[in-house]
Structure 1
Amino acid sequence: MSSKIAKKYTIIIALCCMCAVVSCTKTVKYFKHTFFRMDTFVEVTIPLSDIKKQNAPDTAMVITYIDSILTEWEERFSANRVNSEVKKINQRLRDTVAISKDLSDMISVAKAYGDSLRGGFDLTILPLKVLWHLSEDSDDTSAYPQPDQLQIDSVLANVDYRKVSLSQSGDSLYFINRDIKIDVGGVAKGFILVRIANYLADNGFANYLVNGGGDIIGNGVRADGKAWVIGIQHPRKSDSLLTAFSLERRSVFTSGDYERFRIINGQRVHHLFNPHTGYSATTNQSVSIYGNDPLQNKFLSTGLFSTPADSIVAYIKKRPELSCMVVDSSGKVYKWGMK
């Protein structure tokens, strides 16, 4: 068994950020700033021509605002922060708890995708992460054996998003029992990336990229007037790309088994669990969803991860607003609508 938990955050490489920040005359063309919040890197890229527009906020204001909302959401919605709303809910003494509007919105959408994906996305997955020691900050996992089937079955009894209910008003949450725990870390990340993008758009920035650990939301064009170019990383070759394409839709989100994992008895155990089996999904190495709705892309890339690649493609084909690229467990690449 490996003594390390591997954490890899770069799923998609924004090629424009790598190659076009400095022109051939070495004139800086972009404002860029990187934050580390919510256990991932968040990078904002804006052409300087947008920054210099009349009435646009200066870069200090942009940095201050984005850092403040990232810090706030990290404190509120992490499952591990001492004073987070999520941690307090998971330590509840009653089955019904009051919740904030932001958390209510996230849970409402998460439950809806749980229904539409037949439980493929499940916000009560936290006990499995704890059981497999993939929620720990420590890299020392040498003392953690693989759970046995009885342990897995015991935890699975409390992994079911249908056992969590929102009140009609949305201001409280009901749990069937106290052993059910929620984890909205990935959901909160998707919501906050949308909030950052909306802040930029509302403040007059027509051209930007927001990159949250490789999940991309973009708008407009690069400094040279051409489309942003995005590359999707190979899940087993960190220095290689599967493809590169112009970002003509708003966003692309990727889930991969290489983001956070450890090796047990020669097997890769990662954070993308199959909620029905209690084990890490073994069907695919990565799933990328490309479309105009960032939250839809987020939920589908995670919620379809346990689904066979050809079935994912069939699902996407029925939705003309979406494209996908999937690498299955053997390394075979499937894609639809992506060049």
Structure 2
Amino acid sequence: MLLVSILRKKQSTELKPFSAGIEIKYTRLLMGTVVEITLGGDNEQVIKDAAAAGFDEIARLEKLLSHYQDTSDVSMINKFGWEKPVKVSQETMDVIDASERVSEMTNGAFDITMGVLGRVWHFTKDDKGEFIPPSEDDVKKLLPLVDYRRIIIDRDSSTVKFAKDGMRINLGGIAKGYIVAKAVDAIKKKGVKSGIVHAGGDMFVFQEDGNAPRKIGIQHPRKKDRVIGTVEIANGAVSTSGDYERFFIKNSIRYHHIINTKTGFPAVGTQAVTIVANDGMIADAISTAVFIMGTEDGMKFIEDLPEVEGLIIDANGNITVSSGLKGRLSLISEIVF
């Protein structure tokens, strides 16, 4: 979660002054989280129509990409992909294709086939299971099914198939960033030129060139409703992966939803990662990958990527910032973890 505050109502509006006229915030419950669309302009009806278009696009794409939706492309792949090629939408193909590229870049730290581990790990009521850690034996039985290289993609026919029976995918580490960016595209088509779309840990800021950047709060991973600092964003995506959103504690151990694809257990050594990039989908996937990679390897990876910056908070609360982000980041002088 990125902004300092988030409204807990299913749908609401908030009107406040804006440099170009007015700024209106709309909220709606989608993708298992509160989605905020904040838009600026001088015509309230245009803003309202644009927000509706953004929410409609989010709802449409959620129906394609969520494994919680029984008829989604992802659910169809998981049900039938082991026996035959499954026809999917261009949007689903684009996300899976990008997922494979990030998997290759990160040597498998990011891998959508970790979805099979959802059979033994449960972090929300929608997962329909107990909030208890599985046995090592149960996890080890599933690890041979975690391998992005065993996804068979036919781009010409827009089909996806698994090379091995029992495989499953989960686009949770990349789809939300993609959907948020697509919502921005839908909003822009309605004539709105400035705003923020915010969904859980993913955000996209957009405005006309020359406007002052927005200051975006980065949430404290251990103190709800507090921030560790702010980052200035004029145009682009901000994605945060943290161990504090979906987790349970058992025997004083925190078990969270960001799974190390090599061990099958929650990644250790990191509390949160924030990535700033031009592409929302890539920012989302990289924040997940870097969380798993850890501070040393993760920061080296960030520094090697063009137009990508990041911040990593390790298990002890130490903060490491990429070279290109330091001039845009303001940290609170005394941060207590």
Instruction: Name the TM-score, length of structure 1 as normaliser.
Output: 0.84
Kindly indicate whether the alpha-carbon contact (under 8 Å) linking 1:15 and 1:230 is maintained by their aligned counterparts in 2.
Answer: no
User: Which residue number in structure 2 is paired with residue 112 of structure 1?
Assistant: 101
Deviation at 1:244, TM superposition (A): 1.0
Alignment of 1:93-104 (within 5 A): 94-104=83-93
Are 1:188 and 2:170 counterparts? no
Kindly indicate whether the alpha-carbon contact (under 8 Å) linking 1:310 and 1:334 is maintained by their aligned counterparts in 2.
Answer: no
Out of 17, 30, 37, the position equivalent to 2:23 is 30
User: Which residue number in structure 1 is paired with residue 158 of structure 2?
Assistant: 171
CA distance in 1, matches of 2:4, 2:203: 8
Out of 284, 300, 307, the position equivalent to 2:293 is 307
Partner SS for 1:229: strand
User: Which residue number in structure 2 is paired with residue 8 of structure 1?
Assistant: none
Name which of structure 1's ranges 276-285 and 82-91 shifts more when overlaid on structure 2: 82-91
CA distance in 1, matches of 2:307, 2:284: 15
Partner SS for 1:185: coil
Are 1:12 and 2:17 counterparts? no
Question: Percent same amino acid among aligned pairs?
Answer: 27
CA distance in 1, matches of 2:155, 2:201: 36
Name which of structure 1's ranges 85-94 and 173-182 shifts more when overlaid on structure 2: 85-94
Letter in 2 for 1:325: L
- Count of aligned positions: 315
Greater RCO, CA 8 A, separation 6+: 1
Instruction: Quickly say closer, same or farther: Cα 1:15–1:335, change in 2 above 3 A.
Output: farther
Q: Deviations over 1:12-60 (max 9, x none)?
A: 116899xx96459xxx9311111211112211111243x36xxxx6244
User: Which residue number in structure 1 is paired with residue 255 of structure 2?
Assistant: 269
Deviation at 1:173, TM superposition (A): 1.3
Name which of structure 1's ranges 322-331 and 89-98 shifts more when overlaid on structure 2: 89-98
Kindly indicate whether the alpha-carbon contact (under 8 Å) linking 2:212 and 2:234 is maintained by their aligned counterparts in 1.
Answer: no
Instruction: Quickly say closer, same or farther: Cα 1:316–1:67, change in 2 above 3 A.
Output: closer
Name which of structure 1's ranges 269-278 and 235-244 shifts more when overlaid on structure 2: 235-244
Alignment of 1:81-230 (within 5 A): 81-92=69-80, 94-134=83-123, 136-137=125-126, 141=130, 145-169=132-156, 171-220=158-207, 226-230=212-216
Letter in 2 for 1:178: D
Q: Deviations over 1:111-146 (max 9, x none)?
A: 1111111001111111212312236427883xx543
Kindly indicate whether the alpha-carbon contact (under 8 Å) linking 1:250 and 1:292 is maintained by their aligned counterparts in 2.
Answer: yes
Kindly indicate whether the alpha-carbon contact (under 8 Å) linking 2:54 and 2:187 is maintained by their aligned counterparts in 1.
Answer: no
Partner SS for 2:35: strand
Letter in 2 for 1:293: D
Instruction: Quickly say closer, same or farther: Cα 1:320–1:160, change in 2 above 3 A.
Output: closer
Letter in 2 for 1:36: L
Instruction: Name the TM-score, length of structure 2 as normaliser.
Output: 0.85
Letter in 1 for 2:98: V
Tell me the C-alpha RMSD between the 2 structures.
2.7
Partner SS for 1:196: helix
User: Which residue number in structure 2 is paired with residue 331 of structure 1?
Assistant: 317
For structure 2, list consecutive stretches of 5 or more residues without a partner in the other structure.
8-13, 330-337
